[in-house]
Amino acid sequence: MTPLRFRRTSALRAGSALAATALVVATAAPASAVPVEGNVAASTSASVSGGCDVETGPNAQSVVFTNKTGPRTAQVDSDYHAFNGDNAAASGHSDVETTASGSVKDRAFKRVDVESTAVISMTNGSDVGCALEMDTRSETEVELKVRSRGGKIKIAWASNTGDLAVVSVTGPSGTLLSKNPTRAEGSYLVKVPPGRYTLTSIFLVAASEGDVNVGHTKTTIGFYTLRATYVK
């Protein structure tokens, strides 16, 4: 595959590692006969500034999972090379893997588990200074059927960085929960009426050339788990 070259300004500034997650539970649009059905995706990206370019290869994968498929995993790894004309700058390798699975009871959603690991290794090979930013993204979107008598959804998370950007639950009556926790782990319990809901989780990890000394390599590792459980 011919490498792609592009130039853009970074939209995500980070320290040695930035991990953020967004979790949204909203009423789903089209109904499905499957109690748990969703999509799990993994992707990587990079950006530069200062008139530089960055070269990259394939960087995204997406797979479908249901309560019948068992765990499904999306995984992608990419190499990035920043340069300014004929002058090589920073380079790196990113690897991200996201696994999701779901289970049912009485023909309705019982539990969804999501696990993601991201590794970014960046080498600052020269003082050309392209301000290389490397990012990984793990995303899971799953439709859940809540049984006819309603109940609660317990959302529990844990990460090695503790930066969960948003947790929100929206139902027929409007927004039931909207939080911006910063703890490394925690949980919320949200009462929901019967119906179908969409659960989306997003996990971002980033690394910056500015945090790596010239002639050195730095590795950033992000880990995240989420469990959504139906509670009577």
Whole-number Å distance between alpha carbons of 226 and 232: 20
Sheet containing strand 53-56, strands side by side: 4-6, 53-56, 72-84, 87-105, 108-124, 216-231, 151-159, 185-192
| Residue 81 reports pLDDT greater than 80 | yes
Mean pLDDT across the chain: 83
Q: What number is the average pLDDT over the span 142-146?
A: 89
Q: What is the pLDDT of residues 189-219, one digit of tens each?
A: 988 889 888 888 888 899 999 999 999 999 9
| Residue 54 reports pLDDT greater than 50 | yes
| Residue 32 reports pLDDT greater than 50 | yes
Give pTM, 2 decimals.
0.82
Centroid of chain to Cα 87: 33
Ranges of each domain in the chain = 17-231
Q: For residue 202, what pLDDT is reported?
A: 85
Half-sphere exposure of 76 (CA within 13 A, CB side): 22
Structure tokens at 69: 């498929």
pLDDT band with cut points at 50, 70 and 90 for residue 4 = very low
pLDDT band with cut points at 50, 70 and 90 for residue 18 = very low
| Residue 28 reports pLDDT greater than 60 | no
